[in-house]
Structure 1
Amino acid sequence: MSTKSMEEAGDISKEKLMRDLRLVVEDAEELLKATASQAGEKASAARERIQKTLDSAKARLDAAESEVIEKARQAAKATDEYVQDNPWKAVGVAACVGVIVGMLIGRSR
């Protein structure tokens, strides 16, 4: 596996992880709201700690999301620049990929 495809796989994993973390944070917030009516000093202190942890997790998640978005923009820009600088190479690569996909589809029939 090439370094580039490993990086892409890592980016996809990061995006999936961020989506999953967002869902966990949302579920935890809903749980906090649902248990807000629970009385007691310990319950209140626990809710406050959980809320602080959730706020911190949200901030880190937002920062990670921004980083992934910026890396994706940089990758798109680098790809665009490469294609602009080497249009025939890009056409050749696209043609090769098309031939390979065509062969694989034809082979499966």
Structure 2
Amino acid sequence: MEQTPPNDKAEAQAAAGNVRDRLMDDLQHIISEAEKWLDDSADTPEASETRMRFDDALRTAKSDLHKLEDSFLAHSRVVADSVNLYVQENPWKAVGIGVAVGAVIGMLLARK
């Protein structure tokens, strides 16, 4: 039973990881800006209810961000374990893939 090389999957998962990283960074930035805005807002009776709703939404966003980070870490561990297993089962294929990827990167860098 031959497995497909992890290269295609790894590239897709790396791209997804980059998107997740950017999303998490953006969410953290938005949350920190919202916290600053919340701290700077005036304590008026009209703003009190809005502040409570906004604070609830902010707590929910923080909770969702932590869940996303936990999910990303768990998924990363699964990917790392599967790549590790593939390399252990197919060491020469892994070396060949590494050489091919290195050659392509080298050619791309040499062009610039």
**1:22-53 CA distance string (max 9 Å, x none):** 11011101111111xx2322111111110000
**TM-score (structure 1 length as normaliser):** 0.84
1:40: which partner in 2?
Answer: 44
May I ask how many residue pairs the two structures share in their alignment?
Answer: 105
Q: Which has the higher contact order (CA 8 A, sep 6+)?
A: 2
* Deviation of the 1:93 alpha carbon: 1.1
2:53: which partner in 1?
Answer: 49
1:13: which partner in 2?
Answer: 19
**1:26-84 CA distance string (max 9 Å, x none):** 1101111111xx23221111111100000011101110111011111111111111111
Root mean square deviation, CA, Å: 1.9
SS in 2 for 1:10: helix
- 1:99 equivalenced with 2:112 (yes/no): no
Identity level (%): 32
Q: Distance in 2 between matches of 1:18 and 1:27?
A: 14
Distance 1:43 1:96, change over 3 A: same
Unaligned runs of 5+ in 1: none
- 1:24 equivalenced with 2:30 (yes/no): yes
